[in-house]
Amino acid sequence: MTRSKLNIISTSGLSRGILTFSLVSQSVLGLAQYPGLAANKMKVPVSVPVKAKSFDLQAVRITHGLFRDNMEREGKWLLSLPVERLMHSFRVNAGMNTPKPGSPTKMPKPLGGWEGLDMELRGHSIGHLLSGLALQYASTNNEAFREKGDSLITALADVQRELNQDGYLSAYPQHYIDRNIAGTAVWAPWYTLHKLFAGLTDQYTYAGNQQALDIATKMAAWASHKLSPLTTEQRQKMLRNEFGGMNDAFFNLYALTGNPDHLKLAQFFYHKAALEPLENGQDNLNKAHANTFIPKLVGEARDYELTGNEKAKTAALFFWNTVVQHHTYAHGGNSDKEHFFEPDKIAKHLTGNTGETCNTYNMLKLTRHLFTWSADETYADYYEQALYNHILGQQDPESGMVCYFTPMKAGAYRLYSTPDQSFWCCVGSGFESQSKYGEAIYYHDDKGIYVNLFIPSELNWREKGLTLVQETAYPEETTTRFTVQTKAPILMPMYLRYPGWAKAGVTLKVNGKVIAVKQSPGSYITVDRTWKTGDKIELTYPMTLRLVPANDDPNVAAVAYGPVVLAGELGTANLKGTAPFHDPADPYQYYGYDYTIPDSIGHTIDTGGKPVTDWVKPVAGLPLTFRTTAGLSKQPVELRPYYNLHRQRYVVYWDLK
């Protein structure tokens, strides 16, 4: 998240037009729904060919394990935040929380950090929270999440009615939008509204709240009226400021309503200066604010799906390949101080401000879209890399709080949010990321199931009358077991992901019998047979140690074991506070955070030119725990999964001699 003064993209020329688009054909070549969206709620289906389709989130249950633990901690946080405090800034903006002096009415305590009444970004967190509650409800069927979402929606409807501004709804005055249109300084008002639109549509989609959709459509009517008079020059000037995924939000609203005005609004948020170079295969990311860019491409992907816009598809594919191949750290994250840098310069950007978590949250959104188009295992590989190493590792298991950055600087450590005084962008996206782990484990085509992730879970494919139960302690073990439950025998294929990192091969058993595998890593193993209740699949991918070198220096590298990036434990000496960003005058004080790394901490290993298996050895009896044997201050260093190394200093990238 960046202040508006950090605008770095200029605009010029014409773009796709200003609210003048006609409705596109709604012919259906595939029934893939937007990830998690119930197909029966869509009035505009996908109009392009797809190879994999998303299951509704309600069809998948995480049963136990690391991801379930994170979900439960996040859910407790979501439920702990009082509605009165969450709504305070909205009600103040509408003049509803201003009792006269001496009044017995007690004011709720305002939220702090980026939700403070003196912060221009206030209101963004409630949108994320609405999404998080809806995702938790879909993932768990716990009525507490639906009920809290309903309470917030009712309160927001009251504010919208009290404001009485043609459907406008926010925690800040409409003047912020006027400043954005005029090109004067303001901190990302459309970004904040994007979160609210997304939260409202998620409440409708996942929790069935019709009032949420009504609020969103009224807001869209206001937006259409507000933006229609703008000239091309005014529009592009406005779009220089960070607007999140407003294009994505309006495309999704259009899919739900079929209202052509919502399609026009989505296309209105086409930022020519950012997107046109990507359509032409040009990497224009150097120095660009990363999370200003990524949501725009999520919207482009949605544009392609709903309208068949080939330029949008080209931009989304080129962007994804560019970011993943040239701008991504070993743990799947990207950016330094929130910005992309020159491609293939990872080793030069191992700082304390790397890996903004929002970026990865949005990259995974984009990845899901791209996977459905092609069912290419490459996308599943990246999804696993970023999910296990970055998103899973965002949350502190002790407190349930989350990180903004995940530092790659040797000797640094994670800094966590607070329950009610931080509310950074990554807190908001964390409400969602930690609540929807079931969304990318399984996909399907018209015939069978894709198994992409190895997470203890149950899939209920109601249309086929089939349940698939997955049991595993992955990645602490290499074997995953599946049990089929079906009302009647069913002929269908199972597409089992064969990860690109699994160079040591695979063992596949069906009902105890070893099945020969002809496929190679980076593909899918197809098991096509008639399945009966009780049939079992056992899938084993031996994990091996490997190096993940920086793309600009092979002597700077992370160590991974199978899909898991390992971090070296460097102790707790001189650890300072864990919650920056509290000063309203300087919410970005993280940029100058002093990790006071002791001089005694080293991150150089004399490998003698030997392979990693010679100088990193497993510790007997401790899963996913290793120890260096090569020289590092004459002391061995213990390595554990990066996702599980909290509240201490660490090293991810080593200098190898």
Q: What is the 3-state secondary structure (H, E, C) of 457-484?
A: EEEEEHHHCEEEEEEECCCCCCEEEEEE
Query: Do 346 and 313 reside in the same domain of the chain?
Result: yes
Structural domain total, the chain? 3
Which whole number is the average pLDDT over 97-119?
80
CATH number at residue 303: 1.50.10
Buried b (16+ CB within 10 A) or exposed e, 194-208: bbbbbbbbbbbbbbb
CA-nearest of 220, 101, 218, 203 to 152 is 203
Q: In this predicted structure, which of 24-28, 59-63, 214-218, 219-223 has the lowest mean pLDDT? A: 24-28
549 residue type, one letter: P
The SS3 assignment for 530 reads strand
pLDDT(580) > 80? no
Confidence label for 100 from pLDDT (cuts 50, 70 and 90): low
Quick one: 142 and 236 in the same domain? yes
Specify the range with the lowest mean pLDDT, choosing from 26-35, 235-244, 255-264, 337-346. Answer: 26-35
> Which pLDDT belongs to residue 29?
26
Distance of alpha carbon 306 from alpha carbon 337, whole angstroms: 34
Predicted confidence at residue 12, as pLDDT, reads 30
Which pLDDT value is given to residue 36? 42
What are the Cα distances from residue 307, in Å, to 28, 29, 248, 262, 490? 11, 12, 13, 13, 35
Mean of pLDDT over the chain: 91
Last residue of a domain, one of 393, 419, 440: 440
What is the structure's pLDDT at 576?
77
- Do 156 and 250 lie in one domain? The reply is yes
**Range name among 226-240, 524-538, 570-584 with the lowest pLDDT average:** 570-584
Whether 95 and 216 share a structural domain: yes
Confidence check: pLDDT of 31 > 60: no
Mean pLDDT (whole number) for 180-184: 95
Q: Are 32 and 50 in contact (CB under 8 A)?
A: yes
- Please, are residues 615 and 548 in contact by the beta-carbon 8 Å criterion? no
pLDDT on residue 28:
26
Alpha-carbon torsion (247, 248, 249, 253), positive or negative: positive
The residue with tokens 């509650």 is 133
pLDDT of residue 14: 30
Helix/strand/coil for 390 = helix
Q: What DSSP letter does each residue of 131-181 carry, written as one string?
A: HHHHHHHHHH--HHHHHHHHHHHHHHHHHHHHH-STT---SS-THHHHHHH
The reply to whether 460 and 564 lie within a common domain is no
The pair of three-digit structure tokens given for residue 402, joined into one six-digit string: 């989350």
Within this chain, do residues 170 and 270 fall inside the same structural domain, yes or no?
yes
Quick one: pLDDT at residue 581? 57
Measured from the Cβ of residue 161, the count of other Cβ atoms closer than 10 Å reads 12
Last residue of a domain, one of 506, 540, 574: 540
Task: For residue 574, give every residue at least 6 positions away whose Cβ sits within 8 Å of its Cβ, in sequence order, or none.
Answer: 596, 598
What is the structure's pLDDT at 203? Answer: 98
pLDDT at 105 over 80: no
Q: What is the DSSP letter of 388?
A: I
Instruction: Give the chain's end-to-end CA distance (angstroms, integer).
Output: 38
Find the helix or strand (DSSP H, E) in which 267 lies.
Answer: helix 260-268
Per-residue confidence (pLDDT) for residue 314, from 0 to 100: 98
**pLDDT tens, position by position, 465-505:** 999 999 999 999 999 999 999 999 999 999 999 999 999 99
**Pair (195, 51) in one structural domain:** yes
d(CA 223, CA 438): 33
- 579 confidence band (pLDDT: 50, 70, 90): low
Q: Are residues 410 and 371 in the same domain?
A: yes
All residues at 6 or more sequence positions from 595 whose CB lies less than 8 Å from its CB, including other chains? 352, 407, 409, 411, 412, 413, 576, 649
Q: What is the pLDDT of residue 37?
A: 47
Q: What is the pLDDT of residues 513-562, one digit of tens each?
A: 999 999 999 999 999 999 999 999 999 999 999 999 999 999 999 999 99
Claim to verify: residue 324 and residue 222 sit in the same structural domain: yes
> Rounded CA gap, 244 and 603, in Å?
37
Lowest mean pLDDT among 141-150, 202-211, 414-423: 414-423
| Cα(606)–Cα(201) distance, integer angstroms | 54
For residue 24, the model assigns a pLDDT of 28
Is it the case that residue 26 has pLDDT exceeding 50? no
Q: How confident is the model at residue 34 (pLDDT cuts 50, 70, 90)?
A: very low
Alpha-carbon distance of 88 to 187, in angstroms, equals 20
What pTM value is reported for the model? 0.93
If asked whether residues 380 and 420 sit together in one domain, one would say yes
Q: Point out the domain boundary residue: 440, 461, 488.
A: 440
- What is the pLDDT at residue 10? 29
Q: Are residues 155 and 266 in the same domain?
A: yes
Does residue 174 contact residue 105 with C-beta atoms inside 8 Å?
Answer: no
Which structural domain, as residue segments, surrounds residue 112?
A: 4-440
Residue 278 has pLDDT above 50, yes or no: yes
Q: What pLDDT is stored for residue 49 in this prediction? A: 95
Supply the DSSP string of 547-581, one letter for each residue.
EEEETTEEEEEEEEETTEEEEEE---TT---S---
Q: What is the pLDDT of residues 312-350, one digit of tens each?
A: 999 999 999 999 999 999 999 999 999 999 999 999 999
Q: Are both 268 and 402 inside the same structural domain? A: yes
Among 3-7, 192-196, 451-455, 619-623, the range scoring the smallest mean pLDDT is 3-7
